[in-house]
């Protein structure tokens, strides 16, 4: 991406973040206390948007299908479950610390750098007789002053001063030597300081349960689940035995997951607390590969149905060696976020890995009797695993638009409009009396509101000029506005009596519609 395009996308992202706060979609968690990094709170409109997404996902994947059952598992997870799944031993990212700023970085996300490494063996302060022997190095990249290395090194060594009154500038550096390097990832790109060697950092949130928790009793250890999938595997037998199911069939779940991400970033994209929408689709071994392709298509169609067009999605067929250890085939569905093309969902063929592991570790039989082949088997599984918060962010990015429009007086202005699909829009319709000081208009508008409220989210607004009220609705993505005016009351004759103006958000076109037809018209649009 060119520098100009990257700058444009940064500005776009800033506008999106600002709108989300201003219009009550997303707030930083614990903002009044300085914020809780990697956690976000959804405001009234964000909560509606999220509900619409989750309800539609549930409807399409559970309620409209005979072969998928829903469940809602616990977040606190037995340590044995996550030992069996491999999360306790292996769910980690390589992490290193900046020796100067103490910033924690993901080792695999540091861009390789070229330059000159300045190495030192220690530092001293002549007047006080203080000294420290400790190796440290700094990277100076092309165009940077070599004095930067010395300044950084003095700052580093000053951490060990016992007398904090001594200025770092007064320190004498020892044993300076230099070396040219290419492609190094051992230095912090922000300040050139040496980093620690990468260490594996487990991403799970660990907690203790019960009365023995305070004694540090190991058996009281539990975890906040890092994925919803594991509860599906551990309840597979219960669900299969208490429902009449035959292969292939799925179990679906929507719920919170938690990962202690080293660098939460890109707004809500990489959070520490997030929601997943996962299906484990159990099948016969010979069906796994084909079902993975089928699920990919189904999921792409789903994104289209919620307003994310195919041309903004990318499919990554994850190559051998880069897939999770349990997967024989994985597609990542990626979206063009303003900050880059990034993963929205993974569709993975997990084989019989999970059920076999849980069978082995729990010692419980997890075989399933296949009525058709009259065989007992550990089913294989295809897993479409979507991130709810990431999809919300994609919906918001996709919806955001600014266009220049000319008002009635010929004045140009920028209209900010969130072009959510009506199905996802947090508010489906705004009901607006033309004037608030005409009781007949207000009464009629309230009647229209009452007619629609049981079926959809309706927003009633009587303040400000009608044009301003339309703009406010545009900014939160309300697809339809209904205005009650004097024609509604019959002042222009019987033909227009009990009709209202229906304004379409995207085209801004207006049409007349009978109040009696309004409910069905809107239900058709938002279903």
DSSP state of 208: E
Q: Looking at 48, 261, 398, 474, which residue binds ligand GAP (CB under 6 A)?
A: 261
Q: Smallest distance from the beta carbon of 176 to ligand GAP, in angstroms?
A: 42
User: Cβ-closest residue to ligand GAP?
Assistant: 387
Q: Smallest distance from the beta carbon of 348 to ligand GAP, in angstroms?
A: 7
Q: Looking at 274, 303, 368, 459, which residue binds ligand GAP (CB under 6 A)?
A: 274
Can you say whether the dihedral through the CA atoms of 24, 29, 33, 36 is positive or negative?
Answer: negative
Provide CB contacts within 8 A for 120, sequence distance 6+: 135, 136, 137, 153, 157, 173, 174, 175, 176
Contact assessment for residue 202 and residue 92, using Cβ atoms and an 8 Å cutoff: yes
Residue 344 or 418 with smaller CB distance to ligand GAP: 344
Question: What is the enclosing helix (H) or strand (E) of 416?
Answer: strand 412-418
- Residue 468: φ, ψ to 5°: -65, -40
Residue 385 or 457 with smaller CB distance to ligand GAP: 385
Q: Quick check: 480 binds ligand GAP (CB under 6 A)? A: no
Q: Looking at 192, 384, 387, 479, which residue binds ligand GAP (CB under 6 A)?
A: 387
- Contact range with ligand GAP by CB under 6 A, out of 45-53, 101-109, 382-390, 433-441: 382-390
CA proximity to 282, closest of 405, 426, 383: 383
Q: 105-135 burial string, b = 16+ CB within 10 Å, else e? A: bbbeebeebebbbbbbebbebeeeebebeee
- Contact range with ligand GAP by CB under 6 A, out of 171-179, 231-239, 344-352, 450-458: 344-352
Give the integer Cα–Cα distance in Å for 49 and 41. 13
CA proximity to 498, closest of 509, 510, 489: 489
Instruction: Give 121-133 as a DSSP string.
Output: EEEEETTTTEEEE
Q: Quick check: 271 binds ligand GAP (CB under 6 A)? A: yes
Q: Smallest distance from the beta carbon of 190 to ligand GAP, in angstroms?
A: 22
Long-range contacts of 201-204 (CB under 8 A, 24+ apart): 201/92, 201/93, 201/94, 201/95, 201/260, 201/262, 202/88, 202/91, 202/92, 202/260, 203/91, 203/92, 203/93, 203/259, 203/260, 203/261, 203/262, 204/82, 204/87, 204/88, 204/91, 204/258, 204/259, 204/260
Give the footprint of ligand GAP on residues 314-343 (CB under 6 A): 343
Q: Is the peptide bond before 248 cis (omega within 30 degrees of 0)?
A: yes
Residue 149 or 229 with smaller CB distance to ligand GAP: 229
Q: Smallest distance from the beta carbon of 276 to ligand GAP, in angstroms?
A: 5
Residue 11 or 76 with smaller CB distance to ligand GAP: 76
Give the integer Cα–Cα distance in Å for 177 and 517. 82
- Contact range with ligand GAP by CB under 6 A, out of 3-11, 39-47, 356-364, 387-395: 387-395
Residue 390 or 444 with smaller CB distance to ligand GAP: 390
- Pairing state of beta strands 273-283 and 380-387? antiparallel
Residue 344 or 518 with smaller CB distance to ligand GAP: 344
User: Coil, strand or helix: which one is 477?
Assistant: coil
Residue 275 or 487 with smaller CB distance to ligand GAP: 275
Residue 343 or 370 with smaller CB distance to ligand GAP: 343
Residue 330 or 499 with smaller CB distance to ligand GAP: 330
CA proximity to 462, closest of 448, 447, 441, 493: 441
Give the footprint of ligand GAP on residues 277-306 (CB under 6 A): 278
CA proximity to 295, closest of 208, 384, 416, 196: 384
- Contact range with ligand GAP by CB under 6 A, out of 18-26, 49-57, 270-278, 454-462: 270-278
- Pairing state of beta strands 340-351 and 380-387? antiparallel
CA angle 197, 198, 203 (to 5 degrees): 150
- Contact range with ligand GAP by CB under 6 A, out of 43-51, 165-173, 292-300, 385-393: 385-393
Residue 139 or 291 with smaller CB distance to ligand GAP: 291
Residue 336 or 498 with smaller CB distance to ligand GAP: 336
Q: Quick check: 253 binds ligand GAP (CB under 6 A)? A: no
User: Coil, strand or helix: which one is 146?
Assistant: helix
Give the footprint of ligand GAP on residues 190-229 (CB under 6 A): 227, 229
Q: Looking at 225, 357, 390, 505, which residue binds ligand GAP (CB under 6 A)?
A: 390
User: Coil, strand or helix: which one is 87?
Assistant: helix
- Contact range with ligand GAP by CB under 6 A, out of 273-281, 477-485, 491-499, 500-508: 273-281
Q: Looking at 344, 382, 424, 456, which residue binds ligand GAP (CB under 6 A)?
A: 344
Give the binding-site size for ligand GAP (rule: CB under 6 A). Answer: 19
Q: Smallest distance from the beta carbon of 338 to ligand GAP, in angstroms?
A: 17
Residue 23 or 270 with smaller CB distance to ligand GAP: 270
CA proximity to 56, closest of 430, 386, 452: 386
Q: Looking at 270, 299, 329, 469, which residue binds ligand GAP (CB under 6 A)?
A: 270
Q: Which residues contact ligand GAP (rule: CB under 6 A)?
A: 227, 229, 259, 261, 270-271, 274, 276, 278, 343-346, 383, 385-387, 389-390
């Amino acid at each position: 991406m060119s520098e100009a395009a990257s700058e444009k996308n940064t500005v776009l992202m800033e506008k999106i973040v600002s709108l989300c706060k201003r219009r009550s979609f997303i707030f930083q968690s614990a903002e009044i206390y300085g914020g809780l990094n990697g956690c976000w709170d959804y405001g009234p409109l964000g909560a509606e948007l999220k509900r619409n997404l989750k309800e539609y996902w549930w409807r399409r994947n559970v309620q409209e299908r005979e072969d998928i059952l829903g469940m809602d598992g616990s977040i606190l997870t037995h340590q044995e479950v996550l030992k069996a799944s491999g999360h306790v031993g292996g769910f980690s990212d390589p992490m290193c610390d900046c020796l100067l700023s103490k910033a924690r970085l993901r080792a695999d996300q540091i861009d390789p750098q070229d330059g000159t490494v300045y190495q030192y063996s220690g530092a001293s302060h002549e007047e006080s007789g203080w000294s420290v022997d400790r190796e440290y190095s700094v990277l100076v990249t092309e165009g940077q002053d070599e004095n930067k290395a010395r300044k950084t090194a003095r700052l580093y060594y000053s951490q060990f001063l016992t007398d904090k009154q001594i200025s770092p500038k007064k320190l004498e550096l020892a044993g300076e030597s230099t070396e040219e390097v290419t492609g190094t990832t051992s230095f912090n790109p922000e300040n050139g300081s040496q980093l620690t060697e990468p260490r594996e950092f487990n991403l799970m949130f660990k907690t203790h349960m019960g009365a023995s928790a305070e004694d540090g009793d190991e058996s009281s250890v539990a975890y906040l689940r890092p994925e919803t999938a594991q509860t599906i595997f551990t309840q597979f037998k219960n669900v299969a035995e208490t429902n009449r199911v035959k292969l292939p069939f799925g179990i679906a779940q929507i719920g919170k997951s938690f990962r202690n991400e080293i660098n939460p970033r890109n707004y809500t994209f990489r959070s520490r607390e997030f929601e997943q929408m996962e299906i484990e689709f159990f099948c016969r071994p010979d069906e796994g590969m084909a079902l993975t392709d089928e699920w990919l298509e189904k999921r792409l169609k789903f994104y289209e149905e919620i307003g994310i067009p195919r041309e903004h999605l990318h499919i990554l067929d994850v190559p051998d060696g880069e897939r999770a250890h349990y997967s024989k085939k994985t597609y990542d569905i990626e979206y063009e976020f303003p900050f880059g093309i990034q993963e929205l969902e993974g569709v993975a063929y997990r084989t019989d890995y999970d059920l076999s592991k849980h069978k082995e570790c729990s010692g419980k039989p997890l075989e399933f009797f296949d009525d058709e082949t009259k065989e007992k088997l550990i089913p294989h599984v295809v897993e479409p695993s979507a991130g709810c918060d990431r999809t919300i962010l994609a919906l918001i990015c996709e919806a955001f638009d600014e266009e220049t429009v000319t008002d009635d007086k010929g004045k140009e202005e920028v209209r900010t409009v969130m072009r959510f699909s009506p199905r996802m829009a947090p508010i489906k319709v705004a009901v607006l009396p033309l004037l608030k000081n005409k009781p007949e208009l207000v009464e009629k508008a309230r009647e229209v509101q009452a007619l629609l409220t049981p079926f959809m989210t309706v927003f009633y607004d009587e303040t400000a000029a009608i044009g301003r009220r339309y703009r406010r609705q545009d900014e939160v993505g309300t697809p339809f506005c209904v205005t009650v005016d004097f024609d509604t009351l019959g002042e222009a004759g019987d033909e227009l009596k009990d009709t209202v103006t229906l304004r379409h958000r995207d085209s801004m076109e207006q049409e007349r519609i009978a109040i009696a037809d309004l409910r069905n018209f809107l239900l058709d649009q938002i279903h």
